[in-house]
Structure 1
Amino acid sequence: MMKRIGLLLMVPVLLTLGGCSPFSRVQKSNDYSYKLRMAEQYFVKKKYNFAQQLFEELLPIYKGTEEAENMLYKYAYCAYYLEDYLSAEGIFKQFIESYPKSEMVEEVDFMRAYCYYKQSPKVELDQSNTEKAMGAMQAFINMHPTSPRVKEAGNIIDICRQKLEDKEEQAAQLYFNIGYFRAAAITFAQVLEDYPDSKKGDFYKLMVVRSDYEFAKISVEWKQKERYETVETEYRDMVDRFPESKLLPEAKHFNILSENLIKELLNEQAKEAAGG
């Protein structure tokens, strides 16, 4: 019981001490130059939360002064280092608009695009920020073609493009797995069209062949011949486009199955015609 009373008595003391923290004293100060010095110190010491609060207060006060450019620059980085990439992107944009001739514009322009990249989610989720990152990085390359960051920007574009490709492939594979074979064929074909230089191009084409075969197999009889012929067409296209592919034997298997089934259908039709 005495311990509990002792703890309760200590709470006001702790709260008082907390209220007199060094940062609280800085916040309460009316000396703006002192606050700015402290904001710079907090930034250097990587205490970005403290620095951010002070810069946010001081920016309207120092607007139009020589100090404002550097303050806004560091304010943007505070948000970035605190992993608030949405706010950081907006502040980097504000910097570019406010100081278009600044020697830091190239760096800031890259960082704005990089914030979109940092917001790019897992493949399964919406990829709007991935697309924005690609667009922003390409714009950076176009605006700053001699920048040493061009190579990194190009690499990020490649990473984003691969993520978008993976998302499309996952969608196509899902259609196939749940038995939506026509949708799978269309989507795999679209992936190949969107990413013609993909290392998995022959796999996408194989999946078109396989999906079309599975679709033909479950079709009504009077549609099967036409749909097996589609398999043959897609197989010939695969041979033309990927003559060295190691996946050709598997595609050929579905083509042979389709040829044989077409023959069976024609034989059945001939027998029915003869019997009629």
Structure 2
Amino acid sequence: MRFIGVILLVVVFGTGCSNFAKVQKSTDYDYKLKMADQYYAKKKYNYAQQLYEELFPLLKGSDKFEDVYYKYAYCAYNQKDYLNAENLFKGFVEVFPTSKRAEEMEYMRAYTYYRQSPKVELDQTNTSKTIGFMQTFINTHPGSEKNKEASDIIDKCRAKLEAKEAMSAELYYNLRQYKASAIAYTNLLNNFPDSEKSDEYKLKVVRSYFEYASLSVDEKKEERFEKVIEECNEFIDRFPESKLRKDAERFLNLSQNNIKALKNEQVKTSA
């Protein structure tokens, strides 16, 4: 039965290829366009794309060209060839700026970047581009029904960029590069001031500076514990209701005690 099934698949596939070859060899361009549209409707985008590509230069300037360009762009998109699709969506808007489909094509151009946005661990260039293009779309089409979706995508992309930065900052901390960690978490706070994790990031700044001060040579410790105290006070002012406030107060007390101990030691040494 398996063998028969395989044979049937080969026959069907072979017949499909044979039929397409006949269409491709035809010199009847109206027939080719009709078949391309049929393949497109049946979601056989590879076949449709090849026929549209042949017809592209022949139909340029005709009243059929816009529809062919539109479907040709979607053939690339539906085959997950997002780089080519992005260029085609962009090209459509440039060729048909007043088309009723132009707004859709602008949105789809932005959306191709979103589809190319990788996992958090990888380079986020396409994620940043998605935000830029989606925001431009919202600004240029304030009444579009796509704006809610565009805003949601922007939020998702910003969350991904935030997670990427947080991973980098955490890596510095785990590698015991505490000053770099403190700076990275500070930048993270500045870049995402409305984050739900803002108090967590600020405490990581405090913790990083505390570790940095603790590992410093004695001559630098007082100055660096003063920096911890400054960060602790900023935490308390900014997040007075945070569940992490007690942790910040603990680092504040530890830093103050360390400075007192250092000053007492200086007195003993000079006596």
Q: Do the structures match in fold with TM over 0.5?
A: yes
Q: Return closer, same or farther for 1:20/1:46 CA change in 2, 3 Å cut-off.
A: closer
Q: Which residue of 1 aligns with 2:73?
A: 76
Distance 1:21 1:243 in 2: 74
| Post-superposition offset of 1:259 | 1.1
Of 213, 224, 227, the match for 1:227 = 224
| Post-superposition offset of 1:256 | 1.3
Where structure 2 has 5 or more consecutive residues not aligned to the other structure, the ranges are: 1-10
Distance 2:233 2:118 in 1: 38
| Post-superposition offset of 1:142 | 0.8
Distance 1:19 1:27 in 2: 12
| Post-superposition offset of 1:255 | 1.5
1:57 paired with 2:65, answer: no
Distance 1:244 1:56 in 2: 62
Structure 2 length-normalised TM: 0.94
Q: Return closer, same or farther for 1:20/1:49 CA change in 2, 3 Å cut-off.
A: closer
Q: Which runs of 4+ in 1 moved over 6 A?
A: none
| Post-superposition offset of 1:18 | 6.6
What's the C-alpha RMSD, in Å, of the aligned pairs? 1.5
User: Which AA in structure 1 matches 2:261?
Assistant: E
Q: Which residue of 1 aligns with 2:5?
A: none
1:35 paired with 2:32, answer: yes
Of 102, 105, 128, the match for 2:102 = 105
Q: Return closer, same or farther for 1:187/1:20 CA change in 2, 3 Å cut-off.
A: closer
User: Which AA in structure 2 matches 1:89?
Assistant: E
1:269 paired with 2:266, answer: yes
Distance 2:247 2:163 in 1: 23
Distance 1:141 1:102 in 2: 18
For residues 1-276 of structure 1, what are the structure 2 equivalents within 5 Å? 21-274=18-271
Residues 134 and 154 of structure 2 are in contact (CA less than 8 Å); yes or no, is this contact kept in structure 1? yes
Deviations 1:51-76 (A, max 9, x none): 11111111111000011001000011
Deviations 1:127-148 (A, max 9, x none): 1111111000011001110000
Q: Secondary structure at the match of 1:147?
A: coil
Distance 1:270 1:58 in 2: 90
Structure 1 length-normalised TM: 0.92
Q: Secondary structure at the match of 1:66?
A: coil
Higher mean displacement: 19-28 or 101-110:
19-28
Q: Secondary structure at the match of 1:124?
A: coil
Distance 1:20 1:121 in 2: 35
Distance 2:254 2:29 in 1: 81
Deviations 1:60-105 (A, max 9, x none): 1100001100100001111111011111000000000000000001
Distance 1:120 1:155 in 2: 15
Deviations 1:171-207 (A, max 9, x none): 0000001100000000000000011101000001000
Deviations 1:121-174 (A, max 9, x none): 111111111111100001100111000001100111111111111111110000
Q: Secondary structure at the match of 1:21?
A: helix
